[in-house]
Amino acid sequence: MSYTDVAIRTFQGSIRAGATEEEVSNAITREVAKAGGALWTPSTNIMFGDRTKLPHGAPTHNSIKNDEPAMIEIGGTKSGYAVGIVRSAVLGHHQEAEAVHAVAVEALEAACAATKAGATASSVDAAARKVVERSSLRHGFRHRTGYHTGPNWGGRGNLSLETDSPDILEVNMVFHMPIILFGDSGILIGCSEHVLVTGAGCEILAKTPHKLHVV
């Protein structure tokens, strides 16, 4: 996660008018390497502007302009384990992205608060879903709340934080919880946390806050 945090800080520090997704991606790779780390490159997604309407998007020559949103999903890797998070940013002002992100933050924090050993996977999902359903984005949450992670990011088995899941969370399970919501225009904006389940609750592994980064 320390490498993921380096990646996120570099992403946030690289947002400026005219910067391309590829330029930001290259800067991230350099800074993570300087820190002695590496990235789980198959799962690096960086989208600026209208490309935030894509659920996933590898970096391109697309550049960010004033008053546009940006989103990244990226993970540092070590010893075969990848720890990813989602973060969003706005260059200037983007009313829709800011409003959607505010709901995502509230839903994510509700999910984290519900995460502890002994809780059901469905109860964690319900905590996040309840927040979205009482907002103006009732139909904006179209995926599960999260999933169990292991080696190589995808080595997570089938334990899923979703509606009607009877699975019971146990101490030392690790989950990625991406709360990414659809706005009315089709943009996808949100945030996530990678958490470690404990007896008392959960430990958030990232040191970079999940608030919207505004430049």
Q: How does strand 38-39 pair with strand 45-48?
A: unpaired
Report how far residue 107's alpha carbon sits from residue 85's, in angstroms, rounded to the nearest whole number: 15
Q: What is the pLDDT of residue 155?
A: 59
Q: Is the pLDDT of residue 156 over 80?
A: no
Check if the beta carbon of residue 88 is closer than 8 Å to that of residue 210.
Answer: no
Q: CB atoms < 10 A from the CB of 149, how many? A: 23
pLDDT tens-digit readout, 47-78: 999 999 998 999 999 999 999 999 999 999 99
Rg (CA), the chain: 16
- Which of 25-29, 147-151, 190-194 is the least confident region? 147-151
Whole-number percent of the chain with pLDDT over 90 = 87
- What is the number of other CB atoms lying within 10 angstroms of the CB of residue 211? 12
Residue type, 41: T
Whether the Cβ atoms of residue 4 and residue 84 lie closer than 8 Å to each other: yes
Which of 75, 71, 137, 74 has the alpha carbon at shortest distance from 104?
A: 137
In the chain, which residue ranges form alpha helices assigned H by DSSP? 2-14, 21-34, 95-114, 121-133
Q: So where are the chain's domains? A: 2-214
Residue 185 burial class via C-beta count within 10 angstroms: exposed 0-12, middle 13-18, buried 19 and up: exposed
Where does 2-214 sit in CATH, by number? 3.90.230.10
Q: What is the pTM of this model?
A: 0.95
Is the CB of residue 124 less than 8 Å from the CB of residue 145?
yes
pLDDT band at residue 134 using 50, 70 and 90 as cut-offs: very high
